Amino acid sequence: MTDISAFKSNSSAAVLITGGAGFIGSSLADRLIAAGRKVIVIDNFSPYYDVRIKEKNVSANKDNPAYKLYRCDIEDSAKLSGIFSSEKIGCVIHLAARAGVRPSIDSSLEYVKTNVLGTANILEQMRLHGIKKLIFASSSSVYGNCKAEKFSEDLKISEPVSPYAATKSACEQLCYTWHSLYGIDCLCLRFFTVYGPRQRPDLAINKFARLMKAGKPIEMYGDGSAIRDYTYIGDILNGIEAAMDYCEKKGGYEIINLGGGNPITLKNMIMALEHALGLKAEIKQLPNQPGDVKRTACDCHKAEKLLGYRAATSFDEGLRQFVKWAGLAESKNS
C-alpha cells in the first residue's frame, strides 16, 4: 500500500470524496480513515440501484468522528458552496457521476448535466475556496474502439461511442482548464473495469454471479469475444493513494491509466466466474449493444513510472475475494 505521509502531515485538513457512498468511494473512505485521515463524503444516494446498498456501505463509519457524510447532489451548487465554506478540505477525490455506458444512451442529457455540470461545480468550489489538489475519476471508455494493442494516455480520444464516455472526456478537459487558469493540481485517473467487494449490482461480474447462484440464465451480448482489462478494487485504491501522494508532492496536471494489465475475453471471464462459484452458467446470447466497446487494454507504464503503480491482484484471486464478500462461495457441505 502506498504511504500517504504527505497528507498525514496535514491531517487537520480533510479529504473530500464525492460519490463516497458508492463502490469505489466507500472503499476509499474506509482505507483513508484506517490510515488516520479525516474524510468528508458527498453523495446524493441516487436510486440508480438499490439505495440500501449505499446505506450499508457507509454504515460502519457513521459514528466515527473522523467521518462526515453530506447527502448532496453535485448539481446543487448552492449546497456545495455551504459544504466547502464550512469544512477545511485539503484534497478532493471526485468520483461522483452518473454511471453506465448503456443507460447514458437513453438519458444523454441527464448524463451531461450531472457529469459535466457537476464536475464544473466541484472545480468552481475548489477555485473559490483555494483548494488546489484534485484526483478525478475518468474512465477507459474515453478510448472508444481504439485499434491500438495497448491503450496509452497519449492516444487520440476524439471518438467516444457513448454519451458517458463523452462526458468523461469533457471533464478531463475541464480539469485541465481549471489547472491552467487557477493552478489546481489534478490527476485524471482512467479506471479500467473495476471489480471486487462492493461492486455495483448492475455490473457484469456481480450480476452474472448472482444469476448463476440463483440458477438463472445470464445474458451475454455478442459472441463473447469482447475484451476487458479488469482491475481489482484493492489495486485501484492503491493507485488513488499513490496519485494523492504525487499530487501533493509534485502537482501539475496528468492523465494516468489504472488497469489490471491482463485483458480477458467475456467468455473467459464467465469461465473464471464458473470456477470461482463452482457452478455452470446457462448463457443466453444476445446481439451486441450500442455504446459497448470491443476491447479495453491498459498500458500501465505511465502509472508505474509516476506512481509506482503495479496491479498486484490476479483476476482469479480477485474473483475469489468478490465471491467471498458476496456470500456466494460454494458450500463445503454441498
Q: Decide if 120 contacts 43 (C-beta within 8 A).
A: no
Q: Decide if 153 contacts 190 (C-beta within 8 A).
A: yes
Q: Helix or strand or coil: residue 286?
A: strand
Residue positions annotated with a catalytic role: 164
Going residue by residue through the chain (334 aa), what tens digit of pLDDT does each one get? 444 444 444 558 999 999 999 999 999 999 999 999 999 999 999 999 999 999 999 999 999 999 999 999 999 999 999 999 999 999 999 999 999 999 999 999 999 999 999 999 999 999 999 999 999 999 999 999 999 999 999 999 999 999 999 999 999 999 999 999 999 999 999 999 999 999 999 999 999 999 999 999 999 999 999 999 999 999 999 999 999 999 999 999 999 999 999 999 999 999 999 999 999 999 999 999 999 999 999 999 999 999 999 999 999 999 999 999 999 987 554 4
Tens-place pLDDT, residues 175-209:
999 999 999 999 999 999 999 999 999 999 999 99
Q: Name all domains of the chain by residue range, CATH numbers in brackets.
A: 5-196+230-260+297-312 (3.40.50.720)
Whole-angstrom CA distances from 102 to 43, 55, 206, 315 are: 22, 25, 17, 24
State how far the Cα of 20 lies from the Cα of 72, in Å rounded to an integer.
11
Tell me what pLDDT residue 117 has: 98
Whole-angstrom CA distances from 54 to 21, 22, 43, 114, 136 are: 5, 6, 9, 19, 21
Q: Decide if 64 contacts 108 (C-beta within 8 A).
A: no
Tens-place pLDDT, residues 135-175:
999 999 999 999 999 999 999 999 999 999 999 999 999 99
State how far the Cα of 289 lies from the Cα of 303, in Å rounded to an integer.
31
Tell me what pLDDT residue 11 has: 56
Tell me what pLDDT residue 142 has: 97
Mind giving me the DSSP string for 220-278?
EESSS--EE--EEHHHHHHHHHHHHHHHHHT-SEEEEEE--S--EEHHHHHHHHHHHHT
Tens-place pLDDT, residues 71-85:
999 999 999 999 999
Among positive and negative, which fits the CA dihedral 7, 9, 10, 11?
positive
DSSP category for residue 182 = H
State how far the Cα of 227 lies from the Cα of 130, in Å rounded to an integer.
42
State how far the Cα of 72 lies from the Cα of 96, in Å rounded to an integer.
11
Predicted model pTM: 0.95
Cell digits of residue 237: 485504491
Tell me what pLDDT residue 329 has: 82
